[in-house]
Amino acid sequence: MRAVIYPGLPSHPRYALAQRLLPQGQSGVISIRLDTDDAGLRRFVQALKIFTLAESLGGVESLINHPWSMTHAAIPQAIRLEKGVTPDLLRISVGIEHAADLQADLAQALATLTASE
């Protein structure tokens, strides 16, 4: 994994602002950047058993989105890159499933990346 982008992490550039505005917690949406190519991204998403690939992240179930090819695909590439929407970016919406199950699902999908390298 190249990066985890979440305002609840001290490493996030807007962490202090998020803590001040949302002291009870930030949200159930997390962005990640995977250190892999397009085939690896597909492998990762296809390996998920709980998270569902979806255009919208609004729901009670855990969802995952690839903005580069989905929600932001119509935006010119230069603008996407300027805004940080890169081909390696995935957005995850955490649903109401058990946290341990979600963690295990992500871990087993990440393992498909290291197993094929």
**Residue 104 — φ and ψ, nearest 5°?**
-65, -40
pTM of the model: 0.91
Query: Is residue 53 within 8 Å of residue 65, measured between CB atoms?
Result: yes
Write the pLDDT tens digit of every residue in 76-99. Answer: 999 999 999 999 999 999 999 999
Pairing of strands 3-5, 89-93: unpaired
Count of other CB atoms within 10 angstroms of residue 99: 8
Percent of the chain at pLDDT > 70 equals: 98
**Residue ranges of the chain with pLDDT lower than 50?**
none
